[in-house]
């Protein structure tokens, strides 16, 4: 995914600087470092217990690192936690609802907590209700909201003060497909508007679609970081190619077996699959060679590793 926002400076909005967090002998976060720039969406990927939530809590000033530091918009979570909180919104995996409140009252409570007053508070409420789509049910009691509407309300709570950075912990957890798509669109729009977003999720296909960068973490360690395409290229071994021939299948199989970079050919009827070393250029050259050799092909497709494939390759499933 290409960057949607032109960086106003070269300074990252989020920095994890060799962060460690120990709980007794358990190294929940073990020497994690990465950077996220303005207007980027960074996907935090890992199994349960990998250290994602602890890392997010450190960035949100809810936990102190045992060693290292985390910086939000230039301010240290250790030395300047109050300044960090003004610039950051945190959407936890679960959130409490206060009784006898409707949506606008709930958001108004947090707007006041952030020090918004007068016209600024009214404008923030209108902007947040409109952006999250809660303006149509502003007077509805929050205890009667659906899961999707509750997630919108929680997002609204996190963004009411227009933070430069948003931390979202499993925001799509338990949502139906439509609610997930709409939430993803809201996250992407926030990024277009310049908000820096760190989001964790178990729905890897969605992260691949909306993230500029991802970090894969397991047992407290960051195993890989970069754009989805970069990580895919790093982990990509041989491509798995499948083709369907119209005729002369045996001759085509023999021809393929003599091609450099082609291996592990399997044939079932007129369909063949094989491994091909290389990338797009090698695919194009091979297909051109097949056509020039007078073989008739109905289908030719290469399987590229998805983010899920990469995740399964990098991680081992180990827990602490």
pLDDT digits (tens, 9 = 90+) for 220-246: 999 989 887 777 666 666 678 999 999
For residue 102, what are the β-bridge partners? 141
Structural Rg of the chain based on CA atoms:
24
Predicted confidence (pLDDT) at residue 3 exceeds the cutoff of 50: no
Could you give the CA distance from residue 42 to residue 207 in angstroms, rounded to a whole number?
9
Predicted confidence (pLDDT) at residue 55 exceeds the cutoff of 80: yes
Say what the pLDDT of residue 320 is: 63
Predicted confidence (pLDDT) at residue 106 exceeds the cutoff of 90: yes
Say what the pLDDT of residue 310 is: 76
**Mean pLDDT confidence for 45-53:** 89
Rounded to two decimals, the pTM is: 0.79
Q: Which of 143, 106, 141 is nearest to 125 (CA)?
A: 106
For residue 215, what are the β-bridge partners? 44, 225
Say what the pLDDT of residue 1 is: 38
Predicted confidence (pLDDT) at residue 213 exceeds the cutoff of 90: yes
Say what the pLDDT of residue 318 is: 64
**Mean pLDDT confidence for 17-40:** 95
**Mean pLDDT confidence for 270-289:** 88
User: Of 195 and 96, which is predicted with more confidence?
Assistant: 195
Predicted confidence (pLDDT) at residue 68 exceeds the cutoff of 80: yes
For the stretch 295-309, pLDDT in tens is 999 999 887 667 777
Here the tokens at position 56 are 């997010």
Mean pLDDT, all residues of the chain: 89
Say what the pLDDT of residue 149 is: 93
For residue 43, what are the β-bridge partners? 199, 214
Say what the pLDDT of residue 93 is: 84
Count of all residues that appear for the chain in the document: 320
Say what the pLDDT of residue 162 is: 96
Say what the pLDDT of residue 203 is: 77
**Mean pLDDT confidence for 184-208:** 91
CA distances from 305 to 20, 186, 217, 230, 231 (A): 31, 27, 19, 12, 10
Q: What percent of the chain has pLDDT over 70?
A: 93
Cβ of 262: how many Cβ atoms within 10 Å? 18
Write a three-state SS string for the chain.
CCCCCCCCCCCCCEEEEEEEEEECCEEEEEEEEEEECCCCEEEEECCCCCCHHHHHHHHCCCCCCCEEEEEECCEECCCCHHHHHHHEEEECCCCCCCCCCEHHHHHHHHHHHCCCCHHHHHHHHHHHHHHHCCHHHCCCEHHHCCHHHHHHHHHHHHHCCCCCEEEEECCCCCCCHHHHHHHHHHHHHHHHCCCEEEEECCCHHHHHHHCCEEEEEECCEEEEEECHHHHHHHHCCCEEEEEEECCCHHHHHHHHHCCCCEEEEEEECCEEEEEECCCHHHHHHHHHHHHHCCCCEEEEEEECCCHHHHHHHHCCCCCC
CA distances from 180 to 10, 74, 155 (A): 32, 32, 13
Distance between start and end Cα atoms, the chain: 33
Here the tokens at position 102 are 């409707």
Q: Which of 209, 99, 88 is nearest to 158 (CA)?
A: 88
Here the tokens at position 51 are 């250290």
Whether 222 contacts 32, CB under 8 Å: yes
Q: What percent of the chain has pLDDT over 90?
A: 69
For the stretch 133-191, pLDDT in tens is 999 999 999 988 999 999 999 999 999 999 999 999 999 888 888 999 999 999 999 99
Say what the pLDDT of residue 17 is: 97
Query: Domains in the chain, ordered, with CATH?
Result: 14-233 (3.40.50.300), 237-303 (3.30.70.920)
């Amino acid at each position: 995914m290409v960057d949607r926002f032109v960086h106003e400076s070269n300074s990252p909005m989020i920095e994890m600087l060799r962060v460690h967090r120990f709980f007794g002998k358990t190294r929940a976060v073990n020497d994690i470092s990465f950077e996220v720039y303005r207007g980027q969406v960074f996907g935090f990927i890992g199994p349960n217990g990998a250290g994602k939530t602890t890392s997010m809590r450190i960035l949100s000033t809810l936990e102190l690192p045992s060693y290292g530091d985390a910086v939000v918009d230039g301010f240290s979570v250790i030395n300047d936690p109050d300044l960090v909180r003004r610039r950051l919104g945190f959407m936890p995996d679960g959130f409490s609802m206060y009784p006898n409140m409707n949506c606008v009252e709930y958001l108004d409570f947090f707007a006041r907590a952030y020090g918004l007053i007068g016209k600024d508070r009214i404008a923030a409420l209108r902007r947040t209700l409109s952006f999250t789509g809660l303006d149509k049910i502003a007077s509805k009691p929050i205890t009667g909201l659906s899961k999707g509407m509750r997630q919108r309300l929680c997002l609204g709570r996190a963004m009411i003060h227009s933070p430069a950075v948003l931390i979202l912990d499993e925001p799509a957890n338990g949502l139906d497909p439509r609610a997930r798509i709409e939430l993803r669109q809201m996250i992407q729009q926030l990024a277009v508007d310049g908000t820096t977003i760190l989001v964790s999720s178990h729905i890897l296909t969605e992260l691949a679609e909306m993230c500029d960068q991802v970090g894969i973490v397991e047992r407290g360690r960051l195993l890989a970081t970069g754009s989805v395409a970069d990580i895919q290229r790093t982990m990509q071994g041989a491509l798995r190619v499948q083709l369907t021939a119209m005729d002369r299948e045996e001759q085509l199989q023999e021809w393929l077996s003599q091609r450099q970079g082609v291996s592990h050919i399997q044939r079932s009827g007129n369909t063949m699959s094989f491994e091909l070393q290389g990338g797009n250029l090698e695919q194009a050259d091979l297909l051109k060679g097949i056509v020039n050799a007078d073989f008739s092909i109905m289908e030719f497709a290469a399987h590229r590793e998805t983010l899920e494939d990469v995740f399964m390759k990098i991680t081992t499933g180990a827990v602490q």
